[in-house]
């Protein structure tokens, strides 16, 4: 058991272990803007957001939080927060506009400047290679359901590592491949907006393969000290009742939501029950010899993004249905329902349930012994309005963050090897299909003027970091 008793040195009632990584997270398309600048070509998100009806209010990432121009100011904000780490993503179409061939130096320059500014500020860069912005040209050739995209990804990973590997020591291949595969190709609420369940399963496999080939490309280009990782949004699945039918519903969602990634990446195999559940859609013959061994390349830590748990029930039971249609759950659609749990909610209508984060971290403690964990995203959207003096009071966000950090603390106390916490998000930003209507930042952004105003939660987080933990 790790010692995390009250620390007389810092005054924290819930101190985190020495060396704990305190960070914030963002993603390229959500903050950068400058969508057509310096040789960047459209990604699937540019195409999707400019298609009428796909994103709330017709919002696009064309300007976003203008971070491409305000990078120095944003690094200054992080320096004042006192974070040790910053998790950002590299826009593939900025660096390799067609998804093949040599890197574009002008595109890489932006990330070189960002990394230099971070190092200068004493902040460790944590680079994610793919946070959903596939070059449109690769989607036109078939996208993630096509095997070639995994090979293209490995080439791109090697290019970026070759350019930044001397200064970036912490790398993540993919962010939330579940969303890329199932929101992108099954329910279609994310780019590229396709609703083809069989293609979504192919996409999931090729994302696992891309991850593994990407790990190999990174290892080949990086010094041995570099850390290589993957970030998953694992679902904390809660059956509504203890009936056998609800347990089976939970099993199905766990298979196509979690084990579809965990088993290939950590055990080099596909879950047998997933193959059975999806038999009417595919025979999985697109999985070639050696693919699962490639997906299972060892990594240095697993990143977890957690926001809320998922309550499930068998479709036959009395639970009210709340399943989006078409379903993002191939093999479970029509058989499983998602009853909304009672209790407080964020502006995303997501339940507030910090116990789910504890459950997730302790599950992985048991299932993946020896694999260090980082919470690479956690945070909440609320309706934030600047007051008359410009101040932004966000007590609900502070309460959310405090509860979730306490859950991380509890998990560490109970033996989970959690090395860091990255708050989503540094800035209000383009929240995918919700456009600019949902604010996750601890820094408020006025999208008309691009004025940044730290919210109360930013000051609160800075105090937590300075103290090394939560106050009494």
Catalytic residues: 176, 377
Per CB under 6 A, does 74 bind ligand FCB? no
Site string for ligand FCB, 365-384 (x = CB under 6 A): ------------x-------
Chain residues 116-135 in contact with ligand FCB, contact rule CB under 6 A: none
For Cα atoms 305, 86, 227, give the angle at the middle one, nearest 5 degrees: 75
Per CB under 6 A, does 176 bind ligand FCB? yes
Is the Cβ–Cβ distance between 430 and 381 less than 8 Å?
no
Site string for ligand FCB, 217-236 (x = CB under 6 A): ----------------x---
CA distance to 219, 311, 331, 370, per residue, from 182 (Å): 29, 18, 12, 29
Distance, in Å, from the CA atom of 159 to the CA atom of 193, rounded to the nearest integer, reads: 28
Is the Cβ–Cβ distance between 346 and 280 less than 8 Å?
no
Q: Residue 78 Cβ, how far from ligand FCB at the closest point, in Å? A: 18
Q: Which is nearer to ligand FCB, 110 or 178 (CB)?
A: 178
CA distance to 60, 121, 278, 357, 369, per residue, from 80 (Å): 30, 10, 50, 28, 36
Q: Residue 89 Cβ, how far from ligand FCB at the closest point, in Å? A: 9
Is the Cβ–Cβ distance between 129 and 185 less than 8 Å?
no
Strand partners, 175: 231
Q: Residue 325 Cβ, how far from ligand FCB at the closest point, in Å? A: 20
Q: Which is nearer to ligand FCB, 172 or 175 (CB)?
A: 175
Q: Which is nearer to ligand FCB, 292 or 361 (CB)?
A: 361
Is the Cβ–Cβ distance between 353 and 343 less than 8 Å?
yes
Q: Which is nearer to ligand FCB, 30 or 278 (CB)?
A: 30
Selected from 4, 12, 14, 27, the binder of ligand FCB by CB under 6 A is: 27
Stretch of residues binding ligand FCB (CB under 6 A), selected from 50-58, 171-179, 388-396, 401-409: 171-179
**H helix intervals, 128-196:** 136-140, 147-164, 177-178, 184-185
Q: Residue 431 Cβ, how far from ligand FCB at the closest point, in Å? A: 5
Q: Residue 13 Cβ, how far from ligand FCB at the closest point, in Å? A: 29
Q: Which is nearer to ligand FCB, 26 or 208 (CB)?
A: 26
Q: Which is nearer to ligand FCB, 254 or 428 (CB)?
A: 428
Q: Which is nearer to ligand FCB, 31 or 159 (CB)?
A: 31
Stretch of residues binding ligand FCB (CB under 6 A), selected from 218-226, 319-327, 402-410, 424-432: 424-432
Which residues are CB-neighbours of 391 under 8 A, at least 6 positions away? 453, 456
Per CB under 6 A, does 88 bind ligand FCB? no
Name the residue among 194, 182, 190, 195 with its Cα closest to residue 326. 195
Is the Cβ–Cβ distance between 337 and 323 less than 8 Å?
yes
Strand partners, 311: 238
Q: Residue 61 Cβ, how far from ligand FCB at the closest point, in Å? A: 12
Chain residues 432-471 in contact with ligand FCB, contact rule CB under 6 A: 432, 440
Stretch of residues binding ligand FCB (CB under 6 A), selected from 174-182, 211-219, 395-403, 414-422: 174-182
SS (H, E, C) 249-307: HHHHHHHHHHHHHHHHHHHCCCCHHHHHHCCCCCCCCCCCCCHHHHHCCCCCEEEEECC
Is the Cβ–Cβ distance between 144 and 182 less than 8 Å?
no
Stretch of residues binding ligand FCB (CB under 6 A), selected from 67-75, 172-180, 217-225, 388-396: 172-180
Residues that contact ligand FCB, how many (by CB under 6 A): 12
Q: Residue 108 Cβ, how far from ligand FCB at the closest point, in Å? A: 22
Is the Cβ–Cβ distance between 277 and 255 less than 8 Å?
yes
Selected from 338, 358, 422, 424, the binder of ligand FCB by CB under 6 A is: 424
Is the Cβ–Cβ distance between 64 and 441 less than 8 Å?
no
Q: Which is nearer to ligand FCB, 68 or 440 (CB)?
A: 440
E-strand stretches of 79-137: 85-89, 124-130
Chain residues 284-343 in contact with ligand FCB, contact rule CB under 6 A: 305
Distance, in Å, from the CA atom of 348 to the CA atom of 340, rounded to the nearest integer, reads: 13
Is the Cβ–Cβ distance between 374 and 348 less than 8 Å?
no
Q: Which residues bind ligand FCB (CB under 6 A)?
A: 27, 30, 175-176, 179, 233, 305, 377, 424, 431-432, 440
């Amino acid at each position: 058991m790790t010692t995390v008793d009250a620390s007389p040195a810092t005054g924290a009632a819930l101190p985190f272990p020495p060396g704990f990584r305190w960070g914030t997270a963002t993603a390229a398309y959500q903050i950068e803007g400058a969508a057509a600048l310096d040789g960047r070509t459209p990604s699937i998100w540019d195409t999707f957001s400019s298609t009428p009806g796909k994103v709330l209010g017709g919002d696009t990432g064309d300007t976003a939080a203008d971070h491409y121009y305000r990078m120095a100011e944003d690094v200054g904000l992080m320096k004042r927060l006192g974070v040790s780490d910053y998790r950002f993503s590299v826009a593939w179409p900025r660096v390799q506009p067609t998804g093949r061939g040599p890197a574009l130096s002008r595109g890489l320059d932006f990330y070189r400047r960002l990394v230099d500014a971070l190092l200068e500020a004493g902040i460790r860069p944590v680079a994610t290679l793919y946070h959903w912005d596939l070059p449109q040209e690769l989607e036109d050739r078939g996208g993630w359901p096509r095997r070639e995209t995994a090979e293209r990804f490995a080439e791109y990973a090697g290019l970026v590592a070759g350019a930044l590997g001397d200064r970036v020591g912490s790398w993540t291949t993919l962010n939330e491949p579940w969303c890329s595969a199932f929101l992108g190709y099954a329910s279609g609420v994310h780019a590229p907006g396709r609703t083809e369940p069989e293609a979504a399963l192919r996409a999931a496999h090729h994302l696992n393969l891309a991850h593994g080939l990407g790990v190999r490309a990174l290892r080949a280009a990086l010094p041995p000290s570099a850390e290589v990782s993957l970030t998953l949004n694992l679902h904390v699945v809660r059956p509504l009742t203890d009936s056998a039918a609800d347990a089976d519903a939970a099993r199905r969602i766990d298979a196509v939501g979690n084990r579809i990634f965990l088993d290939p990446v950590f055990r080099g195999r596909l879950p047998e029950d997933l193959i059975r559940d999806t038999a009417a859609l595919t025979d999985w013959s697109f999985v070639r010899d050696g693919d699962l061994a490639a997906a299972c390349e060892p990594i240095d830590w697993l990143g977890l993004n957690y926001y809320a748990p998922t309550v499930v029930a068998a479709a036959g039971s009395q639970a009210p249905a709340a399943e989006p249609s078409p379903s993002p759950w191939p093999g479970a659609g029509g058989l499983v329902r998602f009853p909304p749990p009672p209790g407080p909610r964020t502006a995303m209508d997501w339940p507030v349930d910090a116990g789910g984060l504890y459950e997730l971290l302790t599950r992985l403690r048991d299932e993946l012994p020896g694999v260090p964990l980082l919470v690479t995203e956690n945070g909440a959207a609320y309706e934030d309005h600047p007051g008359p003096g410009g101040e932004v009071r966000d007590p609900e966000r502070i309460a959310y963050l405090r509860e979730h950090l306490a859950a991380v603390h509890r998990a560490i106390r109970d033996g989970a090897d959690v090395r860091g916490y990255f708050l989503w998000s540094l800035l209000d930003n383009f929240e995918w299909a919700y456009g600019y209507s949902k604010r996750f930042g601890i820094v408020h952004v006025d999208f008309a003027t691009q004025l940044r105003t730290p919210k109360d939660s930013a000051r609160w987080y800075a105090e937590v970091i300075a103290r090394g933990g939560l106050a009494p």
